[in-house]
Chain A
Amino acid sequence: MKSGIRRWALGCAAGCLVLASALSTATAGTVKVGAIFAVTGPASFLGGPEARSAEMVVEKINKAGGINGDTVELIVKDSAGSSEKAVSFAKQLIEEEKVVAIIGPSTSGESLAVKKVAEDGQTTLISCAAAEVIVDPVARYVFKTPQKDSFAAQMIFEEMQRLKINTIAIAAGNDGFGKAGKEQLEKMAPSFGIKVAASETYDSKATDLSALVAKLKADAFIQAVVNWSVVPAQAIIAKNMRQVGWQAPLFQSHGFGNIKYAQAAGAAAEGIIFPCGRLLVADALEAAHPQKALLTQYKNDYEAKYKEDASAFGGYAFDAMNMVAAAIKQAGNDRAKVRDAVEGLQKFAGVGGVFSFTPQDHNGLAIDSFAMMTVKDGKFILYQGR
């Protein structure tokens, strides 16, 4: 009998606790944040890690009691890489869901399509796509977290000057990232005294590039190859080059920053040189580096939670979500104030680099957000010169 009463009392107490916690969540508000990522479809290698990273950030925030007591609700929409879908999701998020800000989309094409929607809807958009045109010309409400293409091109050309390379070939995928990068490289090469002897575009689903490599190798003047894409072809071109015994330096874009590609190219990936954010070499950074703690934490958290390697792509969304969270903390659930708060972020350490926004610069990163890297024994390490 006694134990019965005790059990009853315990049950009551537990019930009260549940009720109390339910009440507390009911009284506190929710802040809605929208996200548009290409979780499925051809750009899923971007959208997948991005959506997972953003969800990880939100989960952590809510576990720690939300922002100013408000729970964050992340509404993720899967655009499958389609601009039309991205536009309609953006409208839905702004008009129906009344989100305070949107993170994403994953690809440059989608981001450009959504740029105007965000402007018209006066809602902050923090894009996770690479193309510079997203923030140039600058739009009041549009920001982006990945580093600029032109910084990557500049780093590659500076390294070429050091290696006394003056004639190169460019190969690029036929997607938005490849096209933008190819134009950037062709535009900047002359100012570094570098001649582009061949500039080729391949299908982003290409399965073998040995014919292209044979063609480039036949031109004896070509001293190095720059490949600019985000597709498996960046591993294929490396293999095909080394298979025909061509040892010319191979430079890749920051799109190579996914260890899967280095693993896929295996022995052929050794010695590839590419600029990338420091996430890939987080463990090797000196302790005093402003990004060190953050990078190691993101990498460890992500890898523990999702059992897959962290990539630079997920980092773009991680930064975007953290920026929105920081802005909400400062400005509350108010679209216009959140925009001002994002623009006001200074020395904000993220995965992509240390961001300092200005009204003219909505990327907020400097060239030192990139570091030159190379592949050694199947791992990414900081590049120390050939």
Chain B
Amino acid sequence: MSLDLFFQYLFAGITYGAIYAVVAIGFNIIYNATGIINFAQGEFVMLGGMISISLLPFMPLWCAIAAATALTMLIGAAIEMLFIRWLQSPSVLRLIIITIGISILLRESALHIWGESIRSLPYFYGNEITTFSVGSVHISPQVVWVIAASGVMMGGLSLFFKSTPIGREMRACAANRTAALLCGINARNMVTLSFMLSAGIGALAGCVMSPITYTQYDSGTSLAIKGFTVAILGGLGNSMAAVAAGILLGIIEAFSVSVVPLAFQDAISIAILLIILFVKPHGLFGSSEAARLKDF
């Protein structure tokens, strides 16, 4: 394989990986706060894209993205309040079924509102065929946007969790809910906040990736499956690990194309996931000590 081709595959892989990683981070935030997997995470990504596309005719691009993110956060909060908040110590299984129900609800509502056609935001810089050339490797500016946005979201989140009081309260709830309650932290509000946060991250990701992947009412489902795979691969609950795992999976997928037919791409990535889970059941970066303390 020539060096150029190597880098071309590498960048394709990093693009996929960055997309998977942001979806996985959304899974992790809610998992940390509630101990459940929110299967409606992919729908937040779709909503972000769809709402920003609908708002675009009325405002500049960055306003549309900001408004779409804010609206999706409100939807996330509303969902938590309507479907989850009032449950008295629900089982993990019940919560998961609820989130699956929510994902179907959001998808079908999107079908009724936006129809079945594909839409996309315009490229933030240049158009569909603009590329930067580094040597003879071509990179679309939008890919740079996706990678940069993922990076900024990661950094922002890690700052938020480490150095703001609310972030610390959320971590306290994740670590030990009862102890957090005894310290006077409103755990229910923290759960709502975690839904808002992950909805916002999903929505922002949905906007940035829309020019590359397009947005359709059901585009959330397949993203959620990949994001979930990555979250498990990295170790549930660990956002930095999710980024590493996402990029790893993306690169494996891209390079697998060079040796086997494309049709086997998903089979290869799932096979690798299974092998890793056999060898390291708590994910690449998860610790078995920490995992023993969680219900799921």
> A residues bordering B, Cβ < 8 Å?
40, 42, 44-45, 48, 174, 200-203, 205, 207-208, 210-212, 214-215, 218, 232, 235-236, 239, 242-245, 260-261, 264-269, 308
Contact = CB atoms under 8 A, between A and B. Distances in A.
20 contacts: A45-B116, A48-B116, A200-B261, A205-B221, A207-B209, A208-B19, A210-B254, A211-B255, A212-B257, A214-B257, A215-B257, A215-B258, A215-B262, A236-B213, A242-B129, A244-B8, A244-B138, A245-B133, A264-B118, A266-B128
Most buried by B among A211, A239, A243, A265: A211
Contacts of B253: 211
Closest 9 CB pairs of A and B: A207-B213, A44-B116, A266-B128, A210-B12, A211-B254, A201-B263, A205-B222, A211-B257, A211-B12
Interface in B1-18: 2, 5, 8-9, 11-13, 15-16
A48 B115 contact: yes
Contacts of B8: 210, 214, 244
A243 B137 CA distance: 10
Contacts of B12: 208, 210-211, 214
Interface residues of B, number: 46
Nearest to B107: A40
B103 interface: no
B216 A232 contact: yes
Nearest to B6: A214
A235 to B, nearest CB: 7
A45 B117 CA distance: 6
B105 to A, nearest CB: 13
B118 A239 contact: no
Nearest to A42: B218
Given A210-B15, A214-B12, A243-B131, A174 B116 contact: no
A269 B218 CA distance: 24
Given A260-B118, A261-B118, A202 B263 contact: yes
Nearest to A270: B129
Given A218-B5, A244-B138, A239 B128 contact: yes
Contacts of B116: 40, 44-45, 48
B214 A212 contact: no
A90 B285 CA distance: 53
B249 to A, nearest CB: 13
Given A203-B222, A269-B128, 15 more contacts: A48-B115, A48-B116, A200-B262, A210-B15, A211-B13, A211-B255, A214-B12, A232-B216, A243-B129, A244-B138, A245-B138, A261-B118, A265-B128, A268-B128, A268-B129
B180 interface: no
A49 to B, nearest CB: 9
A200 B264 CA distance: 10
A202 B138 CA distance: 22
Interface string B23-64: 000000000000000000000000000000000000000000
A145 to B, nearest CB: 20
Nearest to A43: B116
A244 B131 CA distance: 8
Contacts of A214: 5, 8-9, 12, 257-258
B88 to A, nearest CB: 35
Given A215-B257, A243-B140, A264-B118, A236 B16 contact: no
Given A208-B16, A243-B138, A264 B214 contact: yes
B118 to A, nearest CB: 5
Contacts of A267: 127-129
Contacts of A44: 111, 116
A267 B253 CA distance: 28
A45 B133 CA distance: 36
Contacts of A236: 213-214
Contacts of B133: 245
A244 B9 CA distance: 11
B196 to A, nearest CB: 26
